[in-house]
Every structure is written in C-alpha cells, then in structure tokens.
Structure 1
Amino acid sequence: MHPSGGRDAGRAVARAAVLLVAMGCSIDDGVRPGPPPPVVVASAVTANPDNVLAAVVTARARFADSVAVGYGLAGAALDSATPAVTTLANSAAVPLFGLAPETRYTLRVVAYGGGQVAGGDTLTLTTGALPAELPRYVASGSDPSPGYVVFAAALYGLVIDNTGRVVWYHRFLNGPGLNFEAEPTGRYYARPPTPDRTDLEPWVEIDPLGNVTRTFGCAGGLQPRFHDLIAELDGSYWVMCDEMRTMDLSGLGGVANAQVMGTVVQHISSAGELLFRWSPFDHFDITDLDPASRTGANVNWTHGNSLDLDSDGNLIVSFRSLSEITKIDTRTGAVLWRMGGLKNQFTFQDAGALAFSFQHGVRLTAPDHLLLLDNLGDPSGSRAERYEYDAPLRTARQTGSYGSSPAVT
C-alpha cells in the first residue's frame, strides 16, 4: 500500500469516529437542531396607481413560508393586518385594501416560518386624494346590512361600505356600463362599452389591484348582454347574449320584417367551449310579450337582465320585457316554471294582482326565497321586494318591500 494511502484511510476512520461520537452525544442529550428563524431581508411599500385606497408591500424573507403586513395610522398601534401570503423564492407581494384617502400609515412586514415569527423594518405610506369626479355617497337607516355594496356609477366600478364610504374603485375609460359586480372568484366583472357600438363588446375580469386578467364573451358571435354574469371557480361562466331574428309579425299587429331580439343563455368553459345553450326562440312564443310592445320594427322581446343558480343547479332568469322570472333546467333546457307576466303559473297570495313588473336584479337569498327590484309593479316608485314561493304548489307570497323616500322610478 502506498504510504499516503494509509494516512488518508486513517484520517477517514478518525473523522468517522468523531462524527459518530458527536451523533451519539446529540442523541443521548435528546437535542435536535430546529429550523432557523425567519428573517425579513428587505421590504418596501408602493402606492397603487389605479386606486389611492390600495397599496402593495413587497418583501424578501429567508426561512419563511408566508408573510403578512401589520398596519395602522401613523403614531398609533398597528391594529390591522392583512391575510398571510405564501412566499415564492423567498419573495412575496402583499396587497392592502380599504385604506383611507389622504392618510399617513405605518406598516411592518411579519414573516412566519418553522413555528416562529419575525418582523421587518417600519415602513410609511401616505395615501393620495380621491379623484375629484368620483361619486360620493351617504347611507342612512336604522339597520344597515353588513358587508359591502358593489355597483357601477359614471366612469367607475365602486365598492362602498354600509356608511356610504368608498372603499375601492376602478376607473374605466368609457365607464363600466350599466353593471359592475363581484363574484366568488375574488375578481370584479363589467362589460364596458366600446366607442364602436356595432362591434362585439366583451366582458372584462379585473383583479383587486385593478389589473384586467381576462376578457371573454358569447359563443357563436353573439353580443354579450351587459346586465349580469355568473363566474365560477373553475373559470367557466354563465352569460346572457343577444340573438336577433327577422320575424313576420304583421298578423299580430306588428310589421312584416320585425327585428326581434331574444336573450340567449350560455355556459362556457374556461377554454371557451360551449357547455350549454338556451334560447327563448326554442321555448317561448312572441305572444308572451304584451301586444303594445311588439308593434315596431325593432322588438325587445325578452330583455334578460339577471340570472342566478338555484341550489339544485338550475337557472333562475329574469326577463324584464315579459315581467317574468323563469326557472330553466341546466341539463335539458326545459322550462321548469314561469312566475309573472302573461304566462304566469303562480298564485300571488295577499296580492290583488301580479306583484312585480319590469323587474331587475333577481337573486335567490335562500331556497325558495327571491329578492328583486320591482321597477313598475307600484307605479308610484320602484321598490326592493322579497318573495317566498312554493314551486310544487305554484304559490308565491311577498314577505318584504323596501322603497326610498321620496320615491324613485
């Protein structure tokens, strides 16, 4: 054996012996090294250019699985905190929402890892003023509902709390259209108008920081309606679409080449595949519409303006022109029942006539319970109304009615 080889072998044996002794001591003492504590390496806060009531805190943290941000008014305790955000490659971006305008805040990143917590440096942020053209609101009443209200106003999509304070907004170049809504996906949706009214106007999906994350519309080249949408967690969506057909209505008090518009309902996958299609041209009659509304060259036959999914997976759709709420089987397309309008199948209890007319915003608040905006059921003013119904017995009963003072139609 070469002399140097013998020396190397001896050193290796000696190192192994030392390692075994060290391991034995560690095992004997019952001590095992724990994970290192998290360390916030760097952090910064940036105002959101889309919305002065929001900001983003970026952080780099070692040995951390997630980070959050504690914040409060400058000079006061950090009495608010964001949800924790998972780190990726030792970095994370944490959004802050619902800040007050023209206010100075103190912030601090908190890192979590291995059952331990570490804080970063103190940051400061001063929010800007709200846009001068942003609408302002004041809420009144003795029993406001919890939560927030999401709606469109002028050029903005808005979120207000139950005091009327604007807590989030997004400005659209041409406004959001008549509808702006939040969905369980955590995103906002609108169908803003384009300068060319003859082109297809898609829906847009917007994240809470104001970024457009998706645009989409109807299958078959149909125009998406701006009234309502259901966005599902798997990326699919239910959408209403305008379908135009030429019909001869001369024998029904109309014109020979009437352009009749009906509301088609589609369910479309995240990949753009058409999963379900329902058309009133296959299930309704033109005579379901009041005769006075079908005399012109252009007939707004159904005017679908809201849709909701029932607990059984079937659709509840509001057709304003028909003053009707319809339940549709989402497997077969069959009409399950019709409430209101000329083809009403329900008896309205405690009411001398049909209880709603030209309604909007129909929503299921619980099984067999509806909430809607009744536009013209009471000619003196529009009202929000609640209904309880029994589908097998075909009965409905108004359980609540709420109007403004003075009345608004």
Structure 2
Amino acid sequence: MRVTVTTQQPGTAPGRIFLGPYSTGQMVGQTGALMVADSGDPVWFRPLSFTNLQNADFRVQTYHDTRTGSAQPVLTWWQGTLAIPPTYTNLPAGAPEPGGCYYIYDSHYRLLRTVFARHGFNADEHEFLLTSRGTALFIASKAVPMDLRPYGGPKDGAIEDSEVQEVDLATGDLVYSWDMLQHVNPADSEVPASDASSSGGVWDAFHMNSIDEGPDGQLLISARNMWAVYDISRASGQTIWQLGGKKSDFTFGQNAGFYWQHDARFRPGNLISMFDDGCCNTGTPPEQQSHGLILSLDFQNHQATAVRTYYHQPALYSQTQGDTQALSNGDEFIGWGQNQYYSEYAGAGNSEGNGLQNLVYDAKMPGSNISYRALRYEWVGTPWYPPSAAVRGRAGENTVYASWNGSTLTRAWQVLAGRRPNALSVVVEHADRSGFETAVPTDSRGPYFQVRALDEDGKVIGTSHVVKLGSRQRVKRGPRTADKK
C-alpha cells in the first residue's frame, strides 16, 4: 500500500506511524502490519497471504518478563478474520471470527509470544494491552444464545457478549476476567435487537471496543453500541460511574456529547480522551462530524465539558473505528477509522469548520483502504535477517537495489562486486539511503554483487547475500569472506 502525504509541517512528534491496512471493498495492496515513515515510505511490512486475513491494533508496547525482571520494547497486534458485509452470515458486522490471536514481536522482528482468548471466547481486534505485571489485557467476544423476545428480537437468538480477559504471559494462565453481559443491561443498547435478523440472529448490543487502566487500577471500558464509557472497579466488577448512554452519571456541556465512540483513555487531571465517530446510523441523535475529543469530568457537579476537539478538513464521517492518541510533544494523533486519513494536530486542536487549524501532518491511504487504528511511536528495529539485494543491467550500466525491511538504523549503503562470488571488493563506498529501497548505479560489470548496510557512523550493521546479474536466485557463498576496502 502506498500512502499519499497531503500535509507535513515542521514540529511533528518523533516516531513512525503504525497501520493495519485492510478494506471493506477492493483492497489496494496487501493486508498486514505496516510501519511507515512521515514520507509515506514503508519502514517494515509483514504482509498477509490473503485479504480476508487482517491485522489490527498494531502498536509499540513494553513487555515485562517477570521471570527475568527485564523489560523491552515490542510490537504487538491482533491477527484474524472479521465478519464484514456482505460476506458474513452469522455474526454482527465487525465481530471477530473464531481463530484469531495476538502476537508479540521483539525489536529483531522475532516472535516472542502468541496469546489466545480463553473459555470459548474469540480474540477480539479492538484491544490488546501489555501491563507492568507481565500480563496482557484484551477484549474477547462470543455469541451467547439468548431469547431476545424481551428486547424485540428473535426467540432463538444470541447476544454478542464481550469480556475483559487478562493472561499471565509467563504461564499462559487466565488471571482475571470481567463479563459485560453480567454487569450491563443490554436493554440500554442504542442498537435495536431487531438488527439481529441481519446477522444470523446475533444481537450486537454492547460492542466493547477499548480498555484502559486507571491510576487506581480501575478499568475504563468503551462500549460503542451503548454510547457509553464505564469506569469499572477491578475488585468488585461494579460500575463506579458511567459517561454517556441512557444511564449517564454526567450531563454534557456544549460539544461534549458523543455517539458510537472508540478508544476511550484516561488522561491526567480528570480528563478522558476518545474518538467520537458521531455517525452514521439512522435515528437520533442527528449525525455529527467525526472528531477527536478530550473531555473534562467534574465529579462534584457531574458534568462533562469539551476542552479540546480535533476536526478534519474535508469533514469526515466515520461509521466505525478510529483513535485519539496523546504524543510525547503534546500533539494529538488521530486515526480516522472508516476513512482513509490519519492526522497529527498541535495540542490546542481546532473546532468544527476549522479543520486545517493546528494541522501539522495529514496522510491518506489509497482506494478504500482503512486501518482500525493509526498510531505514532518511536521504534528502533534491528532485523535478525540480512538486508536484501538485487541487480539489473541497462545499457552498459548496472543498478544495484538495496533494502532492509524493518531496519531503522540504516543510513547508507555500500556496494561490493566481483567476477566470483567469494572475491568481492567495494565498488561504491557510500550511497545515502533513499526510501525503503535504494537504487545505486555502478559501472562495475560484476556479475556478482552484494550490499552492506551502514549506520550513521558509517559502521557496517548488516550484509546481504550475494546476487548475480541476470539471476533471480541468491548465490551460495564460498568460504572466503568479502574483501574490505
């Protein structure tokens, strides 16, 4: 997938952008886990074999190994298949199908852990959080058979239940769970039970889509189809307060109301952030533009006030998905869910109709491609596998192509060539890295070539296999190493 950068101002936060591209229509490129630079060039891509298989919630986290006491930065994501109209028949749109899981990869792009949901639930794409306790918190979903007639649905129906599960990464044991059906009344849903008729009799009453941990260990849970965010006592499982929905403990000031929301997060100072989809379902309330939203909660007067908002230009209406991420420099990063854009704004944000105000970065995915979340993180990747090289000859001049999927330290390339694969010498001392793949012209005839990756100090950090001009196969090396100039 190639990304088009539409705005790039100085002062963006450091880091790369993390996407899980897929499409509900015709996919452009491949699905997978994709890390891109601000330029839109890929940094690391792990493609998937077919477009129905997807990655979501691709991000950087810290893995705490309780057995060794160590901590390390890792990549995490969900992988599986979703019920996407019109191909699904027995689950609500966007629900995870059986067989999904979560992956944890180290900075060398090696698999550390695979995590599965427990006791009959399916791993859900919406959330996977690593904790300092050496555990993983995630959302798990399953259809629970239920007579839905009291709610206006079918007798032989089911409800799509959501559960918070916590697994010890060292032992694989389930150490905590919280079931939404046991604690929240589905009658408060904003989605009628009659909708089950279009999804195999399964009613998506809750649609839990984010988890966050608070300073006192409580859980902040967003349920899109309830229009509500819940603060849950971890110890008792009871709701401490509810924000939004039919039983809200708060009233809302101007521009503070939200609907179909995603990605609710605790912020310091009684603030809550989220992505307000605000659309695009029939009925009440009236449709509103999707936007990033930060609310201040007044617990004494039980009022929620909008302190900052983040709108796009052109105006966007995202029926599903999306996120609002706090960045290290005070900016906010917005993934626009079921729209192709992702953006960065200076912290002060903007207002409806002023989407260009404080916009410092904006990019667009091709076609109908989207990403459940779009996030920015700093990341240092040092692949365990070698760089890649290829060579092509044209009109008496050869061009060597060098790339190293996932290397964030490569700043330049060195090219070696020779008449024999085990007797190569340097023919290009230094060629600056230019995007994911660097083309380096050389008048050397070869026919054998090799590339070395150089860091910012000119040190060799990786060496490719030898390739031969006119051949698609890499060459098996003899016992002699490449000569150094």
How far, CA to CA, are the matches of 1:331 and 1:143 in structure 2? Answer: 46
Which residue of the partner structure matches residue 298 of structure 2?
A: 390
Higher relative contact order, structure no. (Cα contacts within 8 Å, ≥ 6 residues apart): 2
| Paired residue type of 2:179 | S
Seen in structure 2, the aligned counterparts of structure 1 residues 252 and 195 have a Cα distance that, compared at 3 Å, is: closer
CA contact (8 A) 1:316 1:325 kept: yes
How far, CA to CA, are the matches of 1:156 and 1:277 in structure 2? Answer: 29
Seen in structure 2, the aligned counterparts of structure 1 residues 138 and 144 have a Cα distance that, compared at 3 Å, is: farther
| Paired residue type of 1:147 | P
Which residue of the partner structure matches residue 300 of structure 1?
A: 204
TM-superposed CA distance for 1:145, in Å, is 4.3
How far, CA to CA, are the matches of 1:243 and 1:199 in structure 2? Answer: 9
How far, CA to CA, are the matches of 1:393 and 1:150 in structure 2? Answer: 39
Match among 305, 313, 332 for residue 236 of structure 2: 332
CA contact (8 A) 1:250 1:256 kept: yes
Which residue of the partner structure matches residue 153 of structure 1?
A: 21
Which residue of the partner structure matches residue 2 of structure 2?
A: 135
CA contact (8 A) 1:230 1:239 kept: yes
Which residue of the partner structure matches residue 265 of structure 2?
A: 363
CA contact (8 A) 2:141 2:160 kept: yes
Which residue of the partner structure matches residue 245 of structure 1?
A: 144
CA contact (8 A) 2:81 2:97 kept: no
How far, CA to CA, are the matches of 1:342 and 1:144 in structure 2? Answer: 42
How far, CA to CA, are the matches of 2:159 and 2:188 in structure 1? Answer: 13
| Paired residue type of 2:240 | L
How far, CA to CA, are the matches of 1:190 and 1:301 in structure 2? Answer: 25
Which residue of the partner structure matches residue 276 of structure 2?
A: 374
SS at structure 1 position matched to 2:125: strand
| Deviation string, structure 1 residues 160-181 (Cα, Å, up to 9, x no partner) | 4555554443333345433312
TM-superposed CA distance for 1:158, in Å, is 2.8
| Paired residue type of 1:217 | F
How far, CA to CA, are the matches of 1:291 and 1:304 in structure 2? Answer: 13
Which residue of the partner structure matches residue 107 of structure 2?
A: 208
CA contact (8 A) 1:267 1:274 kept: yes
| Deviation string, structure 1 residues 43-98 (Cα, Å, up to 9, x no partner) | xxxxxxxxxxxxxxxxxxxxxxxxxxxxxxxxxxxxxxxxxxxxxxxxxxxxxxxx
SS at structure 2 position matched to 1:344: coil
SS at structure 2 position matched to 1:183: strand
SS at structure 2 position matched to 1:191: strand
| Paired residue type of 2:303 | T
What RMSD in Å do the two structures reach over aligned CA positions?
2.6
Normalised to the residue count of structure 2, the TM-score between the two structures is: 0.52
Normalised to the residue count of structure 1, the TM-score between the two structures is: 0.61
Seen in structure 2, the aligned counterparts of structure 1 residues 288 and 363 have a Cα distance that, compared at 3 Å, is: same
How far, CA to CA, are the matches of 2:194 and 2:244 in structure 1? Answer: 19
CA contact (8 A) 1:139 1:162 kept: no
CA contact (8 A) 1:151 1:180 kept: yes
CA contact (8 A) 1:261 1:301 kept: yes
- Which has more helix, going by share of residues? 1
| Paired residue type of 1:403 | Y
Number of residues of Structure 1 aligned to a counterpart in Structure 2: 274
Seen in structure 2, the aligned counterparts of structure 1 residues 244 and 231 have a Cα distance that, compared at 3 Å, is: same
SS at structure 2 position matched to 1:321: helix
CA contact (8 A) 1:156 1:170 kept: yes
How far, CA to CA, are the matches of 1:163 and 1:310 in structure 2? Answer: 35
CA contact (8 A) 1:139 1:164 kept: no
- The higher radius of gyration belongs to 1
| Paired residue type of 1:278 | W
Structure 1 residue 189 and structure 2 residue 76: aligned? yes
| Paired residue type of 2:202 | N
TM-superposed CA distance for 1:194, in Å, is 5.6
SS at structure 1 position matched to 2:55: coil
The correspondence of residues 10-409 of structure 1 with structure 2, limited to 5 A, is 134-138=1-5, 140=7, 145-148=12-15, 149-154=17-22, 155-162=31-38, 164-174=40-50, 176-185=54-63, 186-193=73-80, 199-270=98-169, 271-290=171-190, 292-296=192-196, 297-351=201-255, 355-376=257-278, 379-409=287-317
Seen in structure 2, the aligned counterparts of structure 1 residues 170 and 142 have a Cα distance that, compared at 3 Å, is: same
| Paired residue type of 2:272 | L
Note the residue ranges of structure 2 that are not aligned, 5 or more in a row: 23-30, 64-72, 84-95, 280-285, 318-485
CA contact (8 A) 2:140 2:163 kept: yes
TM-superposed CA distance for 1:198, in Å, is 5.4
Seen in structure 2, the aligned counterparts of structure 1 residues 275 and 239 have a Cα distance that, compared at 3 Å, is: same
* Greater mean deviation of Cα atoms: 383-392 or 252-261: 383-392
TM-superposed CA distance for 1:343, in Å, is 1.8
How far, CA to CA, are the matches of 1:252 and 1:340 in structure 2? Answer: 21
Seen in structure 2, the aligned counterparts of structure 1 residues 347 and 379 have a Cα distance that, compared at 3 Å, is: same
CA contact (8 A) 2:189 2:226 kept: yes
Which residue of the partner structure matches residue 42 of structure 1?
A: none
TM-superposed CA distance for 1:293, in Å, is 4.6
Which residue of the partner structure matches residue 12 of structure 1?
A: none
TM-superposed CA distance for 1:140, in Å, is 1.9
TM-superposed CA distance for 1:250, in Å, is 1.5
| Deviation string, structure 1 residues 201-249 (Cα, Å, up to 9, x no partner) | 1111122332222111222131011111111244311111113222222
CA contact (8 A) 1:176 1:190 kept: no
How far, CA to CA, are the matches of 2:306 and 2:232 in structure 1? Answer: 22
SS at structure 1 position matched to 2:181: helix
CA contact (8 A) 1:146 1:162 kept: no
How far, CA to CA, are the matches of 1:181 and 1:342 in structure 2? Answer: 33
SS at structure 2 position matched to 1:220: coil
